[in-house]
Amino acid sequence: MGFIRSRSAVAPLRRGIPLSSSAVPSARTSVAQAVALHRPEDPMHCIRPGVLSDTARSFIEAFEGAVAGDVLYAVKCNPEPAVLRALWNGGVRHFDVASPGEIRLVRQMFPEAVLHYMHPVKGRQAIRAAYQQYGVRDFVLDSMEELEKILEETGNASDLGLVIRLGLPKGNAVYDLSGKFGAPFEEAVALLRAARAAAPKIGLSFHVGSQMLEPAAYERALELAGRVIAEAGVAIDVLDVGGGFPVSYPGVTPPPLGDFMAAIARGVAKLALPSSCRIWCEPGRALVAPGVSLVVQVIKRRGNELFINDGVYGALSDAGVPGFRFPARMIRPFEAMGEDATEAFSFYGPTCDSADKMNGPFHLPADVKAGDWIELGQLGAYGSCLRTAFNGFDQARVVEVFDLPLLETPGYRLEERVA
């Protein structure tokens, strides 16, 4: 007879061959020094704890300075424990969790953290475990079916927080999120009323889409949320403006963080909410993208196409079909760097799949060759967490470094760190 074996779906990066104590870099190691030390032939994820903590601190200060609220880190964006620790050190105490695995991970790391179950559609067992085992009290929903399920699986608990996810019309974010979740206007009104009768804490949430470059999008969403609240005729305790806060990429410099906070503050001020109402947000990319980079090695050069040891089935998923460009620099620690002008390159990943291609363009010195290393920045968001083991390419190394990010986003205060 066969048997079923469970395996956790939320796990840190595989480190590859363990490092000996003599090979472990100090906390003051730069990316270039780590490359020289390890000569990595597997992808190397370079975590910048200082950048992550500074970024979290800047965001929290900006948000709390604009509204009376809480910042919930969206764990799905990067669940790597070293990343979570750095965010905690930067002041993050609330976490947007969307699965039993994320709940277990955060609760094990930070027993005193406040967890909010932000997935609008959950399994019954997941709801029971979240409430009974892990102390989760806040649940997002977007249907009467989900509301009934939550009440049944928590035994009509008297300490629930029920937050209704409001659907938004399709927007102009880089990643549109309007199709899968969100209650239409009239249903959101009915859900607010039903939640008010069932729980001591209720709220309304929305999401304008990922990598939203327009601050006014939050004002428009808040105006719609205000109409839902007015129609429902109930007082709310939480208004969640979601995530979507953008970061810089090559060719993309978003408005400063303060512009988004000002837009949210203006939108909230128009709603005449109770003074006790808390404003939430759920940043993911905005907190972690600059705090991790990826070092890959060139396996082969064919004209202006580079075959590298990571790709769309690894940490570079967004560089595939979504077409994200990442800042790139060549690292050549054992020989002099040429003075050639940069050229535009595309990448092929290590798998046998021809779809494992990243068009870029990625601008690098014209003399880049097999054996060189390339650092790609802004990969703290949806890099390590989207890795697969396809074709057997599942090994990666993780190091902590002190460098500033390859690109900085306007509005964040990052401390310069020198060796």
Distance in angstroms (rounded) separating the CA atoms of residues 211 and 382: 12
Mean pLDDT of 407-413: 91
Which among 271, 288, 305 is the end of a domain? 288
Q: What pTM, to 2 d.p., does this model score?
A: 0.91
Assess whether 210 and 303 both reside in one domain: no
Q: For residue 59, which of 202, 203, 264 has the smallest C-alpha distance?
A: 264
* Lowest-confidence segment of 9-18, 39-48, 258-267, 344-353 by average pLDDT: 9-18
- Measured CA to CA, the distance from residue 368 to residue 331 in angstroms comes to 10
Average pLDDT over residues 135-149: 98
Mean pLDDT to the nearest integer, 265-284 = 95
In a domain, 409, yes or no: no
pLDDT in tens, 98-132: 999 999 999 999 999 999 999 999 999 999 999 99
Q: Which of 288, 313, 340 is the last residue of a domain?
A: 288
pLDDT, tens digit, 9 for 90 and up, residues 250-272: 999 999 999 999 999 999 999 98
- Assess whether 306 and 205 both reside in one domain: no
For 326, the domain range is: 21-48+289-400
pLDDT at res. 13 = 55
Residues 274 and 331 in one domain: no
CATH number, residue 393: 2.40.37.10
| Separation of first and last alpha carbons in the chain | 59
Query: Could you give phi then psi for residue 374, rounded to 5 degrees?
Result: -130, 130
* Mean pLDDT of the region 366-393: 94
| Distance from C-alpha of 238 to C-alpha of 404, rounded to nearest angstrom | 36
What pLDDT score was predicted for residue 328? 97
**pLDDT for position 22:** 33
Count the domains in the chain.
Answer: 2
Q: What is the pLDDT of residue 127?
A: 98
Average pLDDT, the chain: 91
Detail the DSSP E strand segments found in 93-250. Answer: 94-97, 114-117, 138-141, 161-165, 201-205, 238-240
Say whether pLDDT at 27 is over 90.
no
pLDDT at 150: 98
Q: Provide the β-strand partners of residue 51.
A: none
Nearest to 419 by CA among 46, 48, 28, 32: 28
Q: Is residue 1 part of a domain?
A: no
Run of H or E including 86: helix 81-89
- Which pLDDT score, from 0 to 100, does residue 180 have? 87
Residue 13 within a domain: no
Over 50: is that where the pLDDT of 408 sits?
yes
C-alpha 247 chain-centroid distance = 11
Same domain as 378, residue 347:
yes
The answer to whether position 182 is within a domain reads yes
Q: β-strand 201-205 against 161-165: which pairing, if any? A: parallel
CATH value at residue 235: 3.20.20.10
- Which of 264, 288, 312 lies at the terminal end of a domain, its last residue? 288
Same domain, residue pair 293 and 275: no
Cβ–Cβ < 8 Å for 323, 288:
no
* pLDDT tier, 68 (very low <50, low <70, confident <90, very high otherwise): confident
User: Quick one: 40 and 97 in the same domain?
Assistant: no
Is 239 within a domain?
Answer: yes
Q: Is the pLDDT of residue 203 over 50?
A: yes
pLDDT of residue 24: 44
Catalytic residues: 352
Q: Six-digit token pair at 171?
A: 């927007």
In-domain check, residue 59: yes
**Residues 324 and 175 placed together within one structural domain of the fold:** no
Residue 168: φ, ψ to 5°: -115, 150
For residues 206 and 64, membership in a common domain is answered with yes
Do 302 and 369 have their domain in common?
yes
Q: Does 4 fall in a domain?
A: no
DSSP 23-52: GPPPTT--HHHHHHHH--SS-EEEE-HHHH
pLDDT category, 4, cuts 50, 70, 90? very low
Mean pLDDT of 145-163: 97
Looking at residue 19, what is its pLDDT? 34
- DSSP for 214-243? -THHHHHHHHHHHHHHHHHT---SEEE---
> What are the backbone dihedrals phi and psi of residue 58, each rounded to the nearest 5 degrees, phi first?
-65, -45
